Amino acid sequence: MKIGDLVAFINESAPFQYQESYDNSGLITGNVNDEVNGVLCSLDCVEDVVEEAIEKDCNVILAHHPIVFGGLKSLTGSNYVERTVIKAIKNDIAIIAAHTNMDNVHTGVNKKIAEKIGLENLEILAPKNSILSKVVVFVPHDNVNDVREAMFRAGAGSIGEYDSCSYNLKGEGTFRAGEDADPHVGEIGTLHSEPETRVEVIVEKPRLGSVLTEMKKAHPYEEVAYDVYPLANEHQEVGSGMVGYLTQPVEAMSFLKSLKEKLQTELIRHTDIVSEKIEKVAICGGAGSFLLTDAIKKKADIFITGDYKYHQFFDADGKIIIADVGHFESEQFTAELFVELLRQNFSTFAIHLSKVNTNPISYL
């Protein structure tokens, strides 16, 4: 197993194209052609984590937060970012970051938090609406199955729990082949009508390239007639935050107390208890204040996240309880999520959970 294969696997699980524009998820240091000896999973990648990787004989660190975020202009070791990168490179350690791409998939960071809190019937809080396309292709009847299957294999037509979804309409295409053409049907210079099926499939952005490549390979025509329409539809399984239900309503204060235990946090900063009972819960690992209006719109009783500032707490405005559990605390289980994801799929290299507490904040 090469490091490049591991990066490709992570891209399959949480496509890097789903990361936010400000992010830097992906392979940060390391050579795609090196073999994977062992993977150390952590929330942050700092010098102590690189040290731990060396001790555990792991040449890959899979971290949630990218150690290089805003770019590097020099590598002199003058700060912790540069020192971490230098140490990783000197020791042939690859650093992979799966950050907002892992936040934005329905099997990612927030799913793990929901699992810890015990939420059911989960939905994405703010689904994204710019990642679906419709591909329409016109295929002679005899080749429809082959072309459709090729597109399905490349990931087209998968919607929620369904795969192989397509719409097919029979019609007629016309064309006239030029002097230098090599037409599959019809004659050069003569207007030809061919019975064709219009095949429509939905494709997610990260799969569009391979769907089009496979579609063209399976299509018999020299010049394939096809359209790609960007869709404004939301993708229900990709986006920020999550909302779900407790198995039964719980008295607000006892919910907050149990939350403290479940999320292993020393401190919860919260606004007024405006609902007696908590049943519908919105969550966002890390800094989630940008999702407050979505949480209110979804009628959540409480919004659990991190990194809230003083003035932002006023925005609860009697409509919801904001509970800031801490950035690290809300996302600490992401490393566990990485371990589970890798162990479910690989058995040829060691997979370790980091023991380093990378939280830079202490409570007095």
What's the min distance (Å) between Cβ of 43 and Zn ion? Answer: 8
Among residues 246 and 323, whose Cβ is nearest to Zn ion?
Answer: 323
CB of 335 to Zn ion, least distance (A): 12
Q: Which residues are CB-neighbours of 229 under 8 A, at least 6 positions away?
A: 133, 134, 135, 136
- For binding to Zn ion (CB under 5 A), which residues are involved? 286, 331
> Pairing state of beta strands 350-353 and 38-42?
parallel
Closest by CA position to 128, among listed 111, 154, 106: 106
What is the closest distance, in whole angstroms, from the C-beta atom of residue 142 to Zn ion in the complex?
Answer: 53
Distance CA 204, CA 238 (A): 10
CB of 100 to Zn ion, least distance (A): 9
Complex with Zn ion: residue 66 or 183, whichever CB lies closer: 66
| Distance of closest approach, residue 9 Cβ to Zn ion, in angstroms | 22
The nearer residue to Zn ion, 52 or 103, going by C-beta atoms, is 103
For residue 59, what are the CA distances in angstroms to 16, 69, 205, 269, 347?
21, 21, 31, 39, 16
DSSP structure string for 160-191: TTB-S--EEEEEEEEEEB-TT---SSS-BTSE
Which residue, among 359, 361, 363, has the nearest Cα to 49 in the 3D structure?
Answer: 359
Residue 239 vs 286, nearer CB to Zn ion:
286
Distance CA(355)–CA(63), nearest Å, equals 13
DSSP string, 243-260: EEEEEEEEEHHHHHHHHH
Q: Please, which residue, 301 or 331, has the CB nearer to Zn ion?
A: 331
- Taking the least distance from each CB to Zn ion, the nearer of 30 and 286 is 286
Alpha carbon 299 to chain centroid distance?
Answer: 25
Let me know how many helices (H) and strands (E) the chain has, helices first.
Answer: 12, 15
Q: Tell me the closest approach of the beta carbon of residue 345 to Zn ion, in angstroms.
A: 24
Closest contact distance (angstroms) between CB of 65 and Zn ion is 6
What are the two backbone dihedrals, phi and then psi, of residue 19, each rounded to the nearest 5 degrees? -75, 155
Whose CB is nearest to Zn ion?
286
> Which is nearer to Zn ion, 15 or 286 (by Cβ)?
286
Nearest to 299 by CA among 262, 244, 354, 257: 244
Q: Smallest distance, Å, CB 287 to Zn ion?
A: 7
Nearer to Zn ion, 64 or 319 (CB): 64
Contact indicator for 324, 283 with CB cutoff of 8 Å: no
Tell me the closest approach of the beta carbon of residue 44 to Zn ion, in angstroms.
9
| CA nearest to 277, candidates 304, 242, 243, 301 | 301
Tell me which amino acid residue 125 is. L
CA-CA distance, 161 to 152, in Å (whole number)?
A: 14
